[in-house]
Each structure stands twice: as structure tokens, then as C-alpha cells.
Structure 1
Amino acid sequence: MPGRAEGGNDTHRGQILHHPEAWHPAIFTGAALALADCDTDGEAQAFFDAAVSAGVPVNVIDKPAFCQFQFGSIVNRSPVIVAISTDGAAPILAQAIRRRIETLLPPALKQWAELAQSLRERVNDMLSPGAPRRAFWERFVDRTFQGNAAPEEGAAQALLGEAERLGGAPAIGRVTLVGAGPGDAELLTLKAVRALQSADVILFDDLVSDEVLELARREAKRLLVGKRGGRTSCKQQDINDMMVSLAKAGKRVVRLKSGDPMIFGRAGEEIARLEAEGIAVDVVPGITAASAMAACLGLSLTHRDHAQSVRFVTGHSRHGDLPDNTDWKSLADPSVTTVFYMGGRMAARIRAALVEHGMGDDTPVVVMAAVTRANETRWQGRLADLPMAMQTIGVDEPVLIGIGNAFGARRSTVDADCQDVVESLLPAVSGRRQ
């Protein structure tokens, strides 16, 4: 049966009735809606015209040209309801979008929304429009999305007490250090996305991808405070001063850092300064580049047959040279998986230092630039060839150098006669040749 009109008859309300017959114009009498699943446009046109003539709203499934209304997907956390529609063009896409939204919303959103509903009038009476009222509701939202827990008993009174305090004192903002990951926006945590969506100001590093920034709140002011080797950079002291100034002005500040903020990101200096100024600060971790590197290569940095430990080492000091306190003797052990961050310009000296302390020139090495990004490149070979590899990879993009037996784990399963061929093809996968 290509179509059926339903509704109108109170006798059958709440029931589904099947009529084993083809549709005909008489079925539209007393109907509220007309739905059809038609194979051809001709059938759809006939059904559509008959329904319209009878004054019944009509929808022909997967044929938007013959639809007077659409069925959207919804996320129902009443009193919060999110509706998604593709105007009939792609119902499956709408369902996929609904699933994405479902993952972003805490299970207890319904209870928090009901609490907000019950508090709204009293909060509006206590706080004047503008910064105080906005500060209260931003803190309310923070609690809503923190930990995914329902409001505790007594939450209403605690929140009203907070509103009373905000009414008598200037609002102080807060700073959140957020890890942007290596570049791929889909590697962001849900908590990172929520922080970006609630920010007033975002101070972002030069290495943060445009795709990540696209997830930020549209009204947020974005300020580039890039710090990148070999280029003019914003001084750390200036960044610290900027965060303090903005937070004291009542702004919600996100300090967006590439990778993980707590790994080679100077987060310690920033946290110390903010805490000294009495400014609340929290941290949202991100996927560090070495983890993304391992995922891209499909290998374990701590493969039990090849590595007993893993180390992340900075490839340069604040003076632009190799760090003078690096324990090269321990790093020269090939059973230690070592990943050098920001070591592209120091690659030749890294190789020399490791060989000087006993590492063999045949130790497996992987070099990757722009990990997880569209322009990602990689090279795989021996320690002896590391300096030459850097001439091919270049230093225009952030570079990781992985050294140790773990990086030869996947190659060890390849027949020795084919190994050279496989190695020569690896760079071509990313569009670059050795």
C-alpha cells in the first residue's frame, strides 16, 4: 500500500488500524495527516495532489518535493528539547546529529533544567541584568556539566546564597587551560568542547588548528598568543598578564594549548601566576602528540617485547640549544622508547649525542610532522639516517622524533627481503618521498 491517511476518528484514537487495500481519495476524509512511501515520483505526485485537494497535510517519505511538513529528530531532556531537521533531505543524517548531541549532554540535564526553572524568578529579583546575572548562570552551567551528576539536596539554597554574594561583589572570572590535542578536532574531549562553548575569550597557540577553533562559542573573542620555535612569539609574561587582566574583568578565559597543556606547555608557570592572583584555574587535558603518533602508526610505545619504559623529552632548551641536563646515557638504551618534541632543528645533534653514549646507528627511528593533520608527513628508518630525513621532512611544521626498538616492532614481521621496499613506500603514503 503506497500511502495511508490517519487521524480524525476519535473511536480509534490510540490504535493502529491496518486496511489491506490501496489508497484512494476517499481515505482522506476526516484525516489529520497523510503519510506515504512511494517508489516513483508519479505515485508521490498522485498521493500528494489527492491529500492537498482534501486539505490534509502530507508527507511522502524521502521525497522532500512532496512534503508539506517534516519529522525532525529530537533530543528530549524536558524541559530541554533540541530539535534537528534536514528539511527532509537526509533523515539518517539528522539521526546521526542527534546522537552526537546526546553524547554532549549530561544524563542529569533534565533535573538541572528543572532546577533552573524553579530558581529563575528569584535570581532575577536578586541580581540586576548584566555581568552579575550572567556570572551566576555561567556558574550554574559549570555545575550542570561537571561530573554528570544530578543536583544534590540543598542545591537550590546553595545557589541562591551564591546569587546573594554575587549581588554584593564584582564578578571575578576564571581561567581554564584546555588541551587542543595534535590538530584533529575529533580528538578533543567532551570537556574541552564544553569549555570552548562557554568561553568569553580564547587565548590560543599558533599550533591550534582551525577545526578546533570552529568548535568555540561564536561570540568568544579569539586572541592569537602564538609561541613557535624560530618565529616571533608572544612573551610568556605577556600571556600571563593578559589572563590575569581578563579574569579580573570577570571574563571566562580559555587558554587553548596544542596537545596536552601539562606536557611542554608551560602550564606550571601560568597556574602559579593565576593562583598568586587569587584567580580560579582548572585544566582540561588533551591528547599529547606522542600518543597521537603511536595511534597513527598503529604501534604501542610500550610493546612488552621491545620497550620497558617511555619518555617524552624536549628537543631544545629556552636558549635554542639542546637541554644541558638531559640524561643521554639512559636515553641511549634502545629498550627505552623516547619521543623528542620540538627536536627538528636539533635532529643531527640528537643523533650524535645518542651514538656518543652507546646507541647503535641501526636503532629504529620514526619522524612525523603535523601529526593527525591533512598535511601529515612521516619517515621511518635508522638512527644513522636521521639528519638526512630531516632535510626531507623539514621543520616548518611541529616535528616528533621517535627512537627505540618499539618503532621497529611492525617492521619486524615483514620478510627481510621485502623490508627495504616497504620502508621506501612509507613516506609515499603521506605524499612525501625520502
Structure 2
Amino acid sequence: MNIRSLQQNKVRRGPSRHERMAPLATLPVFYKLQGKKVLIAGGSEAAAWKAELLAAAGAEVHVHAERLDPVFADLIAAPAVSGSYVWHQRPWSAESFALMQIAICDAESEGEAQAFYCAARTAGVAVNVIDRPAWCEFQFGSIVNRSPAVIAISTDGAAPILGQAIRRRIETLLPPALAAWAQLAQTIRKTVNDRLAPGPQRRAFWEFFVDRAFGAPPEKGAAEKMLRQANALQPAETRREGRVTLVGAGPGDAELLTLKAVRALQAADVILFDDLVSADVLELARREARRMLVGKRGGRESCRQDDINATMVKLARAGKHVVRLKGGDPMIFGRAGEEIARLQDEGIAVSVVPGITSALAMAAQLGVSLTHRDHAQSVRFVTGHSRNGELPKDLDWAGIADARTTTVFYMGGRTAGEIAARLMEMGMDPSMPVVISRSVAREGFERWTGTLRDLAGGMTIIGYDEPVLVGVGSVFAALSERQVRVTCSLVSAGCQ
């Protein structure tokens, strides 16, 4: 079956150019304050934070306060990183607003807040009274600082905690090195514009620049090297080179993605994703990225691997950044080796972003150490079926049956009965603890615990309609013990 017939997610498009802008609670504006005067009324710690922010933007901060909080005093005593401070050891007055660009007050009362607001409006100065939205013409948002790249988040004062949470999410997407790349862009922009004509050449250079900006910091001499490359760039060479990134989507929970995986999703042109990749993970991808389902799921109709390989090659040759998004880790039972080999044969750049494999997510969810020193000295991850859906013929059953090894079978639901039989044939104790985990790190997670002799019956209880992991080893005995303790505590409490 080919990929086209399996595509279920249409390309997401932005709003029509004829649609009107949705209402804005506030207008986001980036205001240059270098060398300009601003007023701070009050010497509190809250006022100090605002003063530091304004000085960082290059402002001349005039502070009107009879006394300063020790934090504020230390701030003024230390050299400002950009702007400067002037302390007027007296309360603010109407004359304080002269030549000021903006005015901020930490008012001690509602009356002072109103008076400050009215005085600022009379003077024609934009005003903010800290923590009093009724007397504010503008608010300070949460800031992600990669200056000269600066991101501000506002909730219009309604939910500052939400704004901070959004900031934390954005912080994870933007590497600290982005600041150095933004500074480098400032340095070379004029030279690039002088050397490269508008259109394909200049666009190709900046696309190459942006691809690198979300990686490691620029190395020494990067600017001159990139300028030499720009100068040598010919019109016929401006077509963007495609590449492929194999990305581990983890077991399902989007919060288990690595930062590097999220950044790859944000930079993708096309995403080829497996059936087990959750919708929450796809939500983190760039909105403009084309999404193509290439369903790879045991026991269900799947896209041929050759078709997936051919599609990656075709898209990369068209200059696309292709993300091959795989459940768990791409290098564990994911056919990544076949995909990497094909791409390398075609001369296409390929990289790998690892993910959390489902066995490790299961251990975390169950609270079980797979290599607890009292039970196991090693751990094995074993595939539970081969290409034809049966157990692989060449498994080392003697090694797997070692009682000092924890074994996790992937895709072993339909072969669970045979797995148990083979292990017992090799001498494993039929009372060896086992666990079956269904939908690990997903909605609908369930587990069954028991012994090896009952494994087939446990699968009947768990069912075959969702992915399962089968864990075998004495480390799982703790799960049964916990269940016994919970049952005993309920009985002792009268829940009989």
C-alpha cells in the first residue's frame, strides 16, 4: 500500500489573506529607549525590577523615592549593563514628568495610583502603575531574552502565571546560542545585502544561516567564512539542499520529547509520521509543515518501507527538510538502519535525534528499576515478532532465560503465549514475575501483573487492540507486592 492512500492529515494552511485580523487585547510594540529618560516613582523591590529592565534597554532611569529598598540601592550602586540611574531623593511631583518617555509607579495607595496616572496623562507620558491594571496604559509582558532577538508575551494582565508558563515553553524552543547568531546577523547584514542581489541568492544565504542558528554557537571566524560563501554563491547554486532528520517521538506523552526533537519539528518542511505518534506531539510542529501519515503499526495495514524511503529521497531532492517522526527511539526496532543506508546511498544529509524508548517510559511509569542491583545485572530489549509476525527464529532463548536479566519484549502481544513457553522450556521458573503494559505514557494506560505461566491469560485480559510491552524479570515482583499491600490495607479498613 502506498503513502498517498494512507495520508489522513491534510496540509494545514494559514488564514486567507482576505480574512481580517482577530481582535487584539493589546498592541505588541517594541520601543527603543536607548538614551531616553524614564521615570520610576518608588524605591521598592518591585520598582527596582522595572528599573533594571528599563536600564537594560539603554534608558536613563530617573528614580524618585525618599528611601530605597536594599535591593534597589545595590542595583543603583552597581554599573548598569546599558543605561544609567539617577536617584532623586524626594517624592515625585508634576515636574518629575518633564521630558520623560514613560512613567512607572509603585503606589502605596489607590489614591496615589490615581494621582500618578492623572499627572502622567496630563504630561502626555505613557503610564504604568505596578499591580494596578486600572491605572495602566501599558503592561510589561514575560520576556524571552535572546537579544537582539527578544520575545514578549502578554495576557493583558489577566493571567500573569499563564504568561510565565508560555515563556518557559518558548525558552525550551530557543537555544541560548540564538543570541550570538542574532548578533552575528546584525554584523553581516549590510555586507550580505551589498554582495548578494535581492531574490534567490540572498534568500538562499539567509535560509542557510537560519538552519545553523538553532544549533551550536557560531564558531570563531564564522562571519568571515559565511561571507566568503555568500560571495562565491552563484545563481545556479541557490537551490536549497534538502536533508532528513530521524526524530524519536517518544512513547506518546509530548512532555517526554527532547528539546532537540521539538526544534527539529519546528524547523520541518514535511513530517512523515508513524501511526503511534500522538496528536500532542504533532501539535508542537511548525504550523506550515506538511504532515504525511506513513502508518507503521503491528497487525494493521502499513505503508511499504520502500515507499517511505522513496518519498524521503524525493522530498529531500526537492530541497525540503524532512522529519521522519518515529514512536519511541528511531534506533530501536524502527528500521532506521534501512532508511539511513538508503539516504546515504543517495547522497542526502541525514541526522538522528534520539527519543525515549517505551521500555524506559514503562519503567518510569511503573516505578521499577530495570537493573535493580538486588535482582538484575543487565537488561535486554527483544522484538516480539519478525517480518512475518511470528517470533524471530534466531533469538538467544538461553540468554533471555537468564534469571539475572530483565527482558522487555516489544510488539510481543500476539506471541506472548509462545514467549512464555520458550522461556519455561529453557528452564525459567514458571513463577517468574511478569508485567504487561498497554499504551505506555498515553491515555488509556493499563497494566497486568502476574507470573510467567499466566502470561497468555494476562494478554487476554489486556487485549490486543493497543501496543503492549511484556516485561519479564524478578524486578517486577515489587509490583505484585504493592498490589497485595494495597489489597490488605483496604481489607483492614473495612472495604470487604
Q: Is the 8 A contact 1:38 1:60 kept in 2?
A: no
Instruction: Name the CA shift for 1:58/1:367 in 2 (closer, same or farther; >3 Å).
Output: same
Q: Is the 8 A contact 1:196 1:215 kept in 2?
A: yes
Say which SS state the counterpart of residue 63 (structure 2) adopts.
coil
Residue 108 of structure 1 is matched in structure 2 by 177
Say which SS state the counterpart of residue 345 (structure 1) adopts.
coil
Could you tell me how far 1:76 is from its partner in structure 2? 2.5
Q: Is the 8 A contact 2:42 2:64 kept in 1?
A: no
**Within 5 Å, which residues of 2 pair with 1:29-178?**
30-31=96-97, 32-33=102-103, 35=105, 50=118, 54=122, 57-124=126-193, 125-126=195-196, 129-130=199-200, 133-147=202-216, 149=217, 151-163=218-230, 164-165=232-233, 167-169=235-237, 170-178=239-247
1: distance between equivalents of 2:156 and 2:141?
8
Q: Is the 8 A contact 1:127 1:167 kept in 2?
A: no
Q: Is the 8 A contact 2:107 2:113 kept in 1?
A: no
Give unpaired runs (5+ residues) of structure 2.
Answer: 1-39, 44-50, 52-59, 69-91, 492-496
**Within 5 Å, which residues of 2 pair with 1:376-395?**
376-395=445-464
Higher mean C-alpha displacement, 320-329 vs 276-285: 320-329
Higher mean C-alpha displacement, 360-369 vs 199-208: 360-369
Post-superposition CA distance 1:42-84 (Å, at most 9, x none) = 8799568756874664445445455321111222332111111
Equivalent residue in structure 1 for 2:351, among 263, 282, 285: 282
Residue 432 of structure 1 is matched in structure 2 by none
Residue 366 of structure 2 is matched in structure 1 by 297
Aligned amino acid, residue 314 of structure 2? S
Task: Give the share of equivalent positions with the same residue, in percent.
Answer: 60
Aligned amino acid, residue 151 of structure 2? V
Residue 15 of structure 1 is matched in structure 2 by 63
Q: Is the 8 A contact 1:201 1:220 kept in 2?
A: yes
Could you tell me how far 1:34 is from its partner in structure 2? 5.1
Q: Is the 8 A contact 1:203 1:255 kept in 2?
A: yes
**Within 5 Å, which residues of 2 pair with 1:188-267?**
188-267=257-336
Q: Is the 8 A contact 1:307 1:336 kept in 2?
A: yes
Q: Is the 8 A contact 1:126 1:167 kept in 2?
A: no
Q: Is the 8 A contact 1:312 1:339 kept in 2?
A: yes
Q: Is the 8 A contact 1:51 1:58 kept in 2?
A: no
2: distance between equivalents of 1:294 and 1:156?
47
Q: Is the 8 A contact 2:121 2:127 kept in 1?
A: no
Could you tell me how far 1:340 is from its partner in structure 2? 0.5
Could you tell me how far 1:37 is from its partner in structure 2? 5.7
Residue 431 of structure 1 is matched in structure 2 by none
Post-superposition CA distance 1:115-149 (Å, at most 9, x none) = 2223334444436524x5444333323333323x3
Aligned amino acid, residue 347 of structure 1? A
1: distance between equivalents of 2:112 and 2:462?
58
Quote the RMSD (CA, aligned, Å).
3.1
Instruction: Name the CA shift for 1:423/1:271 in 2 (closer, same or farther; >3 Å).
Output: farther
Give unpaired runs (5+ residues) of structure 1.
Answer: 21-25, 425-434
Could you tell me how far 1:103 is from its partner in structure 2? 3.8
Instruction: Name the CA shift for 1:404/1:94 in 2 (closer, same or farther; >3 Å).
Output: same
Instruction: Name the CA shift for 1:404/1:5 in 2 (closer, same or farther; >3 Å).
Output: closer
The answer to whether 1:372 aligns with 2:420 is no
Q: Is the 8 A contact 1:62 1:89 kept in 2?
A: no
Equivalent residue in structure 1 for 2:413, among 344, 347, 367: 344
Aligned amino acid, residue 17 of structure 1? A
2: distance between equivalents of 1:196 and 1:306?
40
Post-superposition CA distance 1:92-130 (Å, at most 9, x none) = 332343344334333332221122223334444436524
Q: Is the 8 A contact 2:188 2:223 kept in 1?
A: yes
2: distance between equivalents of 1:110 and 1:142?
14
Residue 396 of structure 1 is matched in structure 2 by 465
2: distance between equivalents of 1:13 and 1:326?
73
Aligned amino acid, residue 402 of structure 1? G
Post-superposition CA distance 1:158-186 (Å, at most 9, x none) = 22343334643243200000001111111
Q: Is the 8 A contact 1:38 1:61 kept in 2?
A: no
Instruction: Name the CA shift for 1:334/1:135 in 2 (closer, same or farther; >3 Å).
Output: farther
Q: Is the 8 A contact 1:315 1:346 kept in 2?
A: yes
Q: Is the 8 A contact 1:335 1:406 kept in 2?
A: no
Using the size of structure 1 for normalisation, the TM-score is 0.84
Aligned amino acid, residue 334 of structure 1? A
Q: Is the 8 A contact 1:44 1:60 kept in 2?
A: no
Higher mean C-alpha displacement, 74-83 vs 100-109: 100-109
Higher mean C-alpha displacement, 279-288 vs 360-369: 360-369
Using the size of structure 2 for normalisation, the TM-score is 0.74
